[in-house]
């Protein structure tokens, strides 16, 4: 791992009586695509806004590139790019003008800026839309413009705050590939999303937050080891009796058996040959069965097991 | 960095159709409407010359005094004849002239009082037109002057006729201020107020500048706040770029209004400076409103519209007398109302040759705008974003 790019120590942020960040710590290394996950109200957005000095905090330290971050630390800001969750562009400016405007807030030299803007347009694939006004763009193209505005000045740290919300699968794929490309070109990425499969696909390390605290941190494989479930077996079967359920539950490594009349679900913890022993039991008892699936745990399982399944509706 | 921001803010405001509408199209549309509707009516006042009237006054006292009074008012200040008098030998003869439409009205006496008779569709039926109104005002003036002269006569030895002559004349004994070339009537004042309204409508843009410069108000604001440009530099560039375009809008509106016949006077440079300061005041007012409240953007826009229109209403945009009512009832407010200050300054430019009042008002507008900008900036800087 490289140098520390973002270092957060004992960060505390209160909104009146609500504790949004509770002695939160984080280290993000150079070259990472760092996923920040958490249910609504867990403190993700607050963390991002504190990192960017958009929000004052009650206690703690934030260092970026080894320097204390503050609202007027323009040298540090030069190396940060942000892609907001909501599209932030001017309706009155064309695609080219929008990117040029935001790039110009960092890059003074006209020639360099022109080169950077052209590269950003190439990167997000908006060459055919340079003279379009944002209102003429589809949702996916608008998201790509939003990204271009955030990355045109070639920052070393890029924060993506749910950049794929309301985007079609093609555009989403293009965006994810783009993020990986930016990372390959040397940028460190902080990525927040509610889409677990995206985080699983691109993030090299993930922190899960809840109630203002970091409750898990690691690579996706490390996180999966934190939960009990290692394999879920699903069998389309009919006529499963309570006796069958009890006996299946007594098989090695099986810790939970669910049956809804047509689908039998068995959750296993550990072991390498769980599927064979379950199929043996089905055959032995002549239980009529159809398709059989074996699923490894996903990040979604990890997330739900760690943060719980109750609904969250508070965004801090 | 400043020029980059300035250049793009020029583009943004130039392409902002809503703002251009309110600051330019709306002003010239309303101005055209004013001119077409009231300009026509006003030009009818030119007809109030050579009004044919008949006079039959039986009462000798009334006749003696009225003859002197009428002799003084019949000739206007510019030497033109206001009333064309025919003396009748009887009331029937006078009424006959009226019926035959040879005269517009008849002055006659009844119970030692001067009365006016006009045609049936006129005064008594509520259908009084401008000419009837002028004749009615002659009777009113006569009664007022007669009452005052009579009261003075009872306490002094001054001849009542000389008093009446003095009071009803154009006032040779009064020293009149030297008047500049521009018009200064109630009609032209509507246009002063219209330009004042255009200036205050710049507040909508001021509001947008606040919205797009603060991280807690918009995502665009957040994006700018995380950039390598200070908020002060980008906000200053935005304010100046918007000021330039809105100022040009107001100047173009004035040029258009002049072309369609509105007379703003000939003090062009002073007016240009006034409109610049006025537009800046409107812009800074919007900047302040945008910063002051935790209300959502729609509510702030509503406040900006409401405040702008209320200030214009109180300066006489909708009812000409309102400014004078405010001057009398609430003089301090009138001195702080940017719309009243702007229209007053236009008025002062066209009334007085010296610039004392003009400079006072310009200074007041500058102070008000500086207070708005400083207060808005301080509130914006002190804000700790509760939630983004």
pLDDT for res B288: 93
Read off the pLDDT band of A120 (50, 70, 90): very high
Q: Do residues A79 and A124 share a domain? A: yes
A88 vs B45, residue with greater confidence: A88
pLDDT for res A30: 95
The residue among B172, B170, B150 whose CA lies nearest residue B160 is B150
Q: Does B12 touch chain A (CB under 8 A)?
A: yes
Quote the tokens at residue B316. 């006489």
Report how far residue B246's alpha carbon sits from residue B22's, in angstroms, rounded to the nearest whole number.
Answer: 10
Q: Does A192 touch chain B (CB under 8 A)?
A: no
Please determine, for residue B113, whether its predicted confidence score (pLDDT) is greater than 90.
no
What mean pLDDT do residues B124-132 have?
54
Structure pTM?
0.75
Please determine, for residue B28, whether its predicted confidence score (pLDDT) is greater than 90.
yes
| Interface ipTM above 0.90 | no
Mutate to test the interface with B, among A14, A64, A78, A90 (most CBs of B within 10 A): A90
Which residue in the set B215, B224, B388 is minimally distant from A105, CB to CB? B224
pLDDT for res B263: 84
Q: Does A58 touch chain B (CB under 8 A)?
A: no
Q: Does A77 touch chain B (CB under 8 A)?
A: yes
Please determine, for residue B124, whether its predicted confidence score (pLDDT) is greater than 70.
no
Q: Could you tell me the CATH number of the domain that includes residue A267?
A: 3.30.70.100
Task: Report the greatest alpha carbon distance in chain B.
Answer: 94
Tell me: the pLDDT tens digits for A157-193? 999 998 888 788 888 888 899 999 999 999 999 999 8
Averaged pLDDT score across all residues of chain B: 81
Tell me: the pLDDT tens digits for B51-66? 888 888 877 777 777 7
- Tell me whether residues A74 and B386 touch, CB distance under 8 A: no
pLDDT-above-90 percentage for chain B: 37
Please determine, for residue B179, whether its predicted confidence score (pLDDT) is greater than 50.
no
Please determine, for residue A118, whether its predicted confidence score (pLDDT) is greater than 70.
yes
What mean pLDDT do residues B291-308 have?
86
What mean pLDDT do residues B318-326 have?
79
- Tell me whether residues A54 and B215 touch, CB distance under 8 A: yes
pLDDT for res B302: 92
Which residue in the set B11, B226, B230 is minimally distant from A54, CB to CB? B226
Letter string b/e over residues B89-111, b meaning 16 or more CB atoms within 10 A of that residue's CB: eebeebbebbeeeebbbbbbbee
Instruction: Examine residue A12 and state whether it is found in any structural domain, yes or no.
Output: yes
pLDDT for res B170: 47
pLDDT for res B112: 75
Please determine, for residue B184, whether its predicted confidence score (pLDDT) is greater than 80.
no
Q: Do residues A214 and A242 share a domain? A: no
Q: Does A89 touch chain B (CB under 8 A)?
A: yes
pLDDT for res A57: 92
Helix (H) or strand (E) holding B162, with range, is helix B160-168
Q: Do residues A195 and A251 share a domain? A: no
Instruction: Examine residue A306 and state whether it is found in any structural domain, yes or no.
Output: no
Please determine, for residue A302, whether its predicted confidence score (pLDDT) is greater than 50.
yes
3-state helix, strand, coil in chain A (%, to 5): 35, 30, 35
- Tell me whether residues B4 and A87 touch, CB distance under 8 A: no
Contact B347, B196 (CB under 8 A): no
What mean pLDDT do residues A74-92 have?
94
Q: Do residues A198 and A237 share a domain? A: no
Residues spanned by the domain of A276: 231-296
What mean pLDDT do residues A263-272 have?
88
Q: Do residues A155 and A249 share a domain? A: no
Q: Could you tell me the CATH number of the domain that includes residue A105?
A: 3.40.50.300
Where is the domain boundary, A224, A258, A277? A224
- Measured in degrees and rounded to the nearest 5, phi and psi for residue B252 equal -65, -40
pLDDT for res B167: 57
Task: Give the gap in angstroms from C-alpha B2 to the nearest C-alpha of chain A.
Answer: 9
Instruction: Examine residue A307 and state whether it is found in any structural domain, yes or no.
Output: no
Q: Do residues A39 and A149 share a domain? A: yes
- Please count the structural domains in chain A: 2
Q: Which domains does chain B have, with CATH numbers?
A: 2-40+181-382 (no CATH), 48-168 (3.40.190.10)
Q: Do residues A63 and A26 share a domain? A: yes
Q: Does B218 touch chain A (CB under 8 A)?
A: yes
Please determine, for residue B46, whether its predicted confidence score (pLDDT) is greater than 70.
no
Instruction: Tokens 């609202």: give the residue.
Output: A71
Q: Does B15 touch chain A (CB under 8 A)?
A: yes
Please determine, for residue B348, whether its predicted confidence score (pLDDT) is greater than 70.
yes
The secondary structure of B273-332, three-state, reads HHHHHHHHHHHHHHHHHHHHCCCCHHHHHHHHHHHHHHHHHHCCCCCCCHHHHHHHHCHH
Structure letter (DSSP) for residue A240: -
List chain B residues with CB under 8 Å of A84: 219, 222-223
With 0-12 / 13-18 / 19 or more C-beta atoms within 10 angstroms meaning exposed / middle / buried, residue A234 is: middle
Alpha helices by DSSP H, A91-232: 95-104, 110-124, 139-151, 169-184, 196-202, 220-224
Q: Do residues A143 and A191 share a domain? A: yes
Where is the domain boundary, A178, A208, A224? A224
Q: Do residues A255 and A174 share a domain? A: no
Q: Do residues A37 and A164 share a domain? A: yes
Q: Does A114 touch chain B (CB under 8 A)?
A: no
């Amino acid at each position: 791992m490289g140098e520390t790019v973002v270092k957060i120590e004992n960060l505390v942020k209160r909104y009146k009586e609500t504790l949004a960040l509770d002695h939160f710590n984080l280290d993000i290394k150079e070259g990472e695509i760092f996923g920040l996950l958490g249910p609504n109200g867990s403190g993700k957005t607050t963390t991002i806004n504190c990192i960017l000095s958009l929000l004052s905090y009650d206690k703690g330290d934030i260092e970026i590139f080894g320097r204390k971050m503050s609202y007027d630390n323009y040298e540090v800001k030069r190396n940060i790019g942000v892609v907001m969750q909501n599209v932030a562009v001017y309706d009155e400016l064309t695609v080219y003008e929008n990117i040029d405007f935001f790039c110009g807030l960092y890059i003074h030299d006209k020639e360099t800026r022109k080169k950077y803007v052209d590269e950003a347009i190439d990167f997000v694939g908006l060459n055919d839309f340079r003279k379009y006004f944002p209102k003429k763009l589809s949702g996916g193209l608008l998201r790509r413009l939003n990204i271009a505005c955030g990355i045109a000045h070639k920052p070393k740290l890029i924060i993506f705050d749910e950049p794929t919300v309301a985007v079609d699968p093609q555009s989403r794929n293009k965006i994810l590939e783009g993020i990986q490309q930016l990372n390959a070109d040397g940028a460190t990425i902080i990525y927040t999303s509610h889409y677990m499969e995206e985080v699983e696909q691109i993030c090299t390390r993930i922190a899960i937050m809840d109630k203002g605290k970091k409750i898990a941190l690691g690579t996706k494989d490390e996180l999966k080891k934190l939960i009990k479930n290692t394999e879920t077996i699903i069998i389309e079967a009919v006529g499963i009796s309570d006796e069958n359920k009890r006996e299946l539950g007594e098989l090695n490594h099986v810790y939970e058996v669910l049956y809804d009349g047509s689908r039998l679900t068995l959750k296993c913890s550990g072991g390498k040959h769980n599927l064979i022993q379950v199929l043996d039991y089905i055959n032995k008892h002549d239980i009529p069965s159809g398709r059989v699936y074996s699923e490894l745990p996903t990040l979604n399982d990890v997330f739900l097991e760690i943060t719980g399944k109750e609904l969250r509706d508070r965004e801090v | 960095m400043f020029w980059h921001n300035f250049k793009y803010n020029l583009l943004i405001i130039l392409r902002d159709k809503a703002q251009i509408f309110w600051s330019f199209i709306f002003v010239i549309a309303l101005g055209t409407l004013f001119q077409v509707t009231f300009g026509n009516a006003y030009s009818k006042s030119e007809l109030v010359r050579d009004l044919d009237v008949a006079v039959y006054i039986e009462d000798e006292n009334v006749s003696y005094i009225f003859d002197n009074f009428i002799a003084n008012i019949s000739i206007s200040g510019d030497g033109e004849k206001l009333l064309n008098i025919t003396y009748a030998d009887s009331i029937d003869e006078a009424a006959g002239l009226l019926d035959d439409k040879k005269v517009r009205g008849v002055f006659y006496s009844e119970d030692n009082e001067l009365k006016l008779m006009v045609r049936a569709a006129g005064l008594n039926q509520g259908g009084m037109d401008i000419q009837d109104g002028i004749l009615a005002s002659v009777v009113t003036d006569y009664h007022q002057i007669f009452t005052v002269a009579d009261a003075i006569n009872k306490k002094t030895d001054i001849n009542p006729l000389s008093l009446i002559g003095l009071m009803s004349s154009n006032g040779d004994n009064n020293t009149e201020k030297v008047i500049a070339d521009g018009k200064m009537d109630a009609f032209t004042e509507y246009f002063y107020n219209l330009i004042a309204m255009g200036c205050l409508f710049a507040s909508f843009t001021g509001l947008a500048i606040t919205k797009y410069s603060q991280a807690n108000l918009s995502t665009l604001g957040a994006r700018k706040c995380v950039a390598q440009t200070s908020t002060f530099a980008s906000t200053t560039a935005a304010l100046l770029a918007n000021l330039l375009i809105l100022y040009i809008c107001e100047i173009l509106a004035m040029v258009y209004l002049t072309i369609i016949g509105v007379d703003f006077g000939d003090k062009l440079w002073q007016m240009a400076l006034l409109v610049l300061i006025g537009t800046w005041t409107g812009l800074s007012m919007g900047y302040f409103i945008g910063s002051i409240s935790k209300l959502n953007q729609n509510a702030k826009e509503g406040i900006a519209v409401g405040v702008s229109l209320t200030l214009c209403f109180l300066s006489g945009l909708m009812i000409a007398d309102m400014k004078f009512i405010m001057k009398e009832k609430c003089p301090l407010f009138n001195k702080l109302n940017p719309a009243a200050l702007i229209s007053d300054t236009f008025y002062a430019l066209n009334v007085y040759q010296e610039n004392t009042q003009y400079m006072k008002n310009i200074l007041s507008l500058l102070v008000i705008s500086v207070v708005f900008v400083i207060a808005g900036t301080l509130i914006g800087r002190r804000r700790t974003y509760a939630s983004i």
